[in-house]
Amino acid sequence: MAEGMIKKIIEALLFVSQKPLTIEEIRQAFDGIEDKDIEGAIEELKRDYSGQDRSFGIAELAGGWQIVTNPEFAPWISKLFKQNEVRLSNPAMETLAIIAYKQPLTRSEMERIRGVNVDGVLKTLLDKNLIKIRGRKDAPGRPITYGTTEEFLKHFGLKALTELPRLQDFSEHDLDFEKEVDGDALGQEKT
């Protein structure tokens, strides 16, 4: 098959897909194509789009490739679709960050870090498909463990969890949850 035809087929596959496609998924549409040929065609498409100053491009998201619009066009797109954005409260963002960095972890582990009940926040994050049940911990009672989803990666524009900022980049105060639990962050005296 000609290289130009491979590129057009991959472009069509990415165009019709509503989710990022992995190299393996793209390969399934072909007979006997090598991964390096797929990767080469994707890179060529990316160069074509950026060289033509298009309103869209190809991005690597959640372990796959997807055609996406450039962020500068978001105001017009949001007016057209008027979709409900996934808005998260501060407690939900805090809990989601804890899950992202420490997954898999249990509800009680989250509550120990945050110092408050997380039942409502967990339900919200599960409903928005940002987290999912990962399994059960090998501990008394076999509590459920939670972790992030591909939707989490897509929502935050990440290829993988390794793209999260490193914890070393945060100050000690940013990571000192225990003091907040003890009341220091609220200005309360310990008894």
Q: What is the DSSP string of 10-46?
A: HHHHHHH-SSPBPHHHHHTTSSS--HHHHHHHHHHHH
Domain parsing of the chain, residue ranges: 3-80, 90-186
Q: Which two tokens stand for residue 126?
A: 């599960």
Q: Which H or E element spans position 147?
A: strand 144-148
pLDDT of residue 9: 94
Closest CA to 98 of 90, 110, 87: 110
- Comparison of pLDDT for 73 and 174, the residue scoring more: 73
Confirm whether 3-80 and 90-186 share one CATH topology: yes
**CB-based contacts of 166, cutoff 8 Å, min separation 6:** none
Q: For residue 25, is pLDDT > 70?
A: yes
Q: How confident is the model at residue 81 (pLDDT cuts 50, 70, 90)?
A: confident
CATH of domain 3-80: 1.10.10.10
**Considering just the CA atoms, what is the radius of gyration of the chain in Å?**
21
Q: For residue 184, is pLDDT > 70?
A: no
Query: How much is the mean pLDDT over the chain?
Result: 84
Distance from C-alpha of 44 to C-alpha of 14, rounded to nearest angstrom: 14
Residue with tokens 């409903």: 127
pTM beyond cutoff 0.85: no
Distance from C-alpha of 7 to C-alpha of 20, rounded to nearest angstrom: 17
90-186 is classed CATH 1.10.10.10? yes
